[in-house]
Amino acid sequence: MLNAIPYHAVTPQEQRAAKYGALARDGVACAVCHHVQIDPKVPFGHTFTGDFRLNKPDEVYGPFDNPKQVPMEQTLGITPKSEPTITSSNSSPWNC
């Protein structure tokens, strides 16, 4: 974990809580959707309750053919991979 205090964390309480900032910023949007294991046999609506499977934690999936792997591997320790069913934020069956 990065041990850094954000610029606007002024009070001691803000500085103690700063390490959780990344969790708040990440939320459940990008990282979760790009880790979901797409199973065409499972209707998308069944995943709304959190009943979905995840791929390997060190891999993310996106719409690009042959994504550049080195930058993400070196900075995040995550390997980007192509997933043809993800073409946009409105793509079916995954609307992230």
Query: pTM for the whole thing?
Result: 0.55
Secondary structure (3-state) at 71: helix
Q: Which two tokens stand for residue 38?
A: 């797409």
Secondary structure (3-state) at 31: helix
Q: What is the pLDDT of residues 23-72, one digit of tens each?
A: 666 555 577 778 888 777 776 666 666 677 888 989 998 888 899 999 98
Secondary structure (3-state) at 44: helix
93 preceded by a cis bond (ω within 30 of 0): yes
The domain locations on the chain are 12-82
